[in-house]
Structure 1
Amino acid sequence: MLRLLMIGAGGIGGYYAARLLDAGHRVVLTARGEHLGALKDNGLTVHYEGRELAHAPAAHDHQELVTQYKPDEFDLIIIALKATATASVVSELGDWLKQGQTPVLSLQNGVDNEPLLAETVGADRVIGGLAVRIGGHITRPGVIEAEGLAQIVMGAWPKVSGGADSRTPLLKTLVAAFNDAGIPARSSDNIRYELWRKLVINNGVNPLSALTGLDTRSLTHHPRFGRIVYGMMAETVEASRADGVNLEKKDLEEMFELISNFNAIKTSMLVDRERGRPLELDTIAGAVLRRCERPGIEAPYTETVHAVLQHSDE
């Protein structure tokens, strides 16, 4: 049995927590507001492709967490919050996290979360991760709807070096436990490469879906928007060079084919815009544009969509 802390029991974190609870692992959740109240009063309910997963795990806000637990009471701390919240999590929980040695796994969008966590807890405690082919949203407080394969890829950040790594045994344990829980999981020796490949998809569809109101399939199969999606993905491939990742044309083609054939889902950014919540625009499109500025790479598709979306939300 694993002892896990899920910081952020939203659509993604809540789904994975439910699967792990179903498999007999101990999972403590954090949340806030009405969602937290519902988790405490009625437990967590997840609807996933015809199944209902219902559990009553311990749920807390961050203040309750730091007063009732120590970091080393957990085998793994998972952060599944929006990337826009990473800085505030580091600010609120940084001192608490430093009290232990438990590794921290980021399951967030973008490529800037792991560096921020590494500054706080040390790079040797950071496990990079990404959730692949999953759509998940809170439909009402305490209730989540999720769909997709919901795979997890994780690895020692930024990548496995030649020497022994203390995270390797835990990664093997996690991959086995997650797969046993019905969560397709694998480890990667170069997780930063995997994170950039996901950013190719996220930058391709997230901002444009928030701007147009269209789901991923409608975007990728649209005669004009599909070209814009492909263009934004191509610009992300170019931006990866600034981090020394150096994605190639085959990565672009694979990622475009993947999102084109995936379920027709509302992106997280579209859902956030519909609900009046802050967008992950800076952590997705902004991350691409910042890396394009340094070497002078042109990114007209991303720059235009970013500017229009930013202006429309002002």
Structure 2
Amino acid sequence: MKVAVMGAGAVGCYYGGMLARAGHDVVLIARPQHVEAIMREGLRLDTQHFDERVRVSASIEASAVKGAELVLFCVKSTDTDSAAQALAPYLDGDALVLSLQNGVENAARLRELLPQEAAAAVVYVASEMAGPGHIRHHGRGELVIEPSTMSEAVARAFVDAGVPTEISDNVRGALWAKLVLNCAYNALSAITQMPYGKLVQGEGVTRAMRDIVDECLAVATADGVTIPGDVDAAVRRIAETMPNQFSSTAQDLARGKKSEIDHLNGLIVRRGEALGVPTPANRLLHVLVRLIENKAG
């Protein structure tokens, strides 16, 4: 399969690298420093089970997506519109654009912006860019994807590449389940600059997380969303399975970058206002992260 990864950061490099390692024709569309390192030395896949350099194509240009059957769309939610517009002139008509992003609105937005088929995926992976062209994997890696014309082939490709993948008719609910996890952990990890395992050991943290999660579930119920599984168990499992992971929001703030907080706790606040559900805990986290962003300029 010919695959393009738009926004090859920590998530895109992990999944694109795993597919390339399995023999697929992958091009990573990334920032110049990563592209230079990848073209010179290959992509370093530094995982819990192996540490290898994978030969893969890389480019800074959106035009590199030409000919791709599958596009892994991995940009920040704040960049969805601009990245989709950059890709649009070069996408094949029958390409599948698979959103591997935080938040619950990106796939719907892609369907508004692009004539090609777009589908959502829920991503559960702990990874970071440890340096130019160097992806470090801290744990997990499974995907949940929604049905599409290519879903069976895509799921099979990922599974064969060592990525547990399932197809679900309730990806909206699964996206909300991931949103709840992000709301519980991301802002707190960002404000404290602490990894998940250490974060949850703080006095009063699990109770505060309980308040955050309760607000998210109240908003989801009011919005008619059915969240699958045991949410409380999933929240606990994050700290257990990803103890050394800093949230993507924490990584963004540490680098002085704008985060996706508007699409995480901020979304809960907006939907809560629209639906008449109070969200004081999520509002406070949203305000604090935005203040830190503004302070950093």
TM over 0.5: yes
Equivalent-residue separation in structure 1 for 2:197 and 2:98 (angstroms): 30
In the alignment, is the contact (CA less than 8 A) between 1:43 and 1:54 conserved in 2? Answer: yes
- 1:1-314 to 2 correspondence within 5 Å? 2-65=1-64, 70=66, 73-97=67-91, 100-122=93-115, 125-132=117-124, 134-156=125-147, 167-168=148-149, 170-241=150-221, 243-247=223-227, 251-264=230-243, 265-314=245-294
What's the C-alpha RMSD, in Å, of the aligned pairs? 1.9
Equivalent-residue separation in structure 1 for 2:132 and 2:157 (angstroms): 28
Equivalent-residue separation in structure 2 for 1:8 and 1:30 (angstroms): 6
- Runs (4 or more) in structure 1 with deviation over 6 Å come to none
* 1:277 partner SS: coil
Deviations 1:46-95 (A, max 9, x none): 10015113122111123442xxx53xx22211112222221220232234
Q: Which amino acid aligns with 2:238?
A: I
- Quote how far apart the aligned CAs of 1:202 are: 0.4
Equivalent-residue separation in structure 2 for 1:247 and 1:179 (angstroms): 24
- Quote how far apart the aligned CAs of 1:7 are: 1.1
Q: Which amino acid aligns with 1:130?
A: V
In the other structure, the counterpart of 1:160 is none
Q: Which amino acid aligns with 2:129?
A: I
Q: Which amino acid aligns with 1:91?
A: Q
TM-score (normalised: structure 1): 0.87
Equivalent-residue separation in structure 2 for 1:116 and 1:92 (angstroms): 15
Equivalent-residue separation in structure 2 for 1:215 and 1:199 (angstroms): 18
Residue segments in structure 1 that go unaligned for 5+ positions in a row: 157-166
In the other structure, the counterpart of 1:164 is none
Q: Which amino acid aligns with 1:188?
A: S
In the alignment, is the contact (CA less than 8 A) between 1:62 and 1:92 conserved in 2? Answer: no
Pick closer, same or farther for the CA change 1:44–1:260 going to 2, 3 Å.
closer
Equivalent-residue separation in structure 1 for 2:40 and 2:239 (angstroms): 40
* 1:227 partner SS: helix
Equivalent-residue separation in structure 2 for 1:34 and 1:245 (angstroms): 41
Q: Which amino acid aligns with 2:208?
A: I
Deviations 1:12-45 (A, max 9, x none): 1111122111111111110022112222222211
Q: Which amino acid aligns with 2:192?
A: T
Equivalent-residue separation in structure 1 for 2:35 and 2:267 (angstroms): 31
Q: Which amino acid aligns with 2:47?
A: Y
Equivalent-residue separation in structure 2 for 1:202 and 1:9 (angstroms): 20
Deviations 1:189-227 (A, max 9, x none): 111111000001001100111011121122333331221
Residue segments in structure 2 that go unaligned for 5+ positions in a row: none
- Using the aligned pairs only, state the percent identity: 30
In the alignment, is the contact (CA less than 8 A) between 1:209 and 1:270 conserved in 2? Answer: yes
Equivalent-residue separation in structure 2 for 1:242 and 1:290 (angstroms): 13
Deviations 1:140-159 (A, max 9, x none): 11111112121011013xxx
Equivalent-residue separation in structure 2 for 1:288 and 1:217 (angstroms): 24
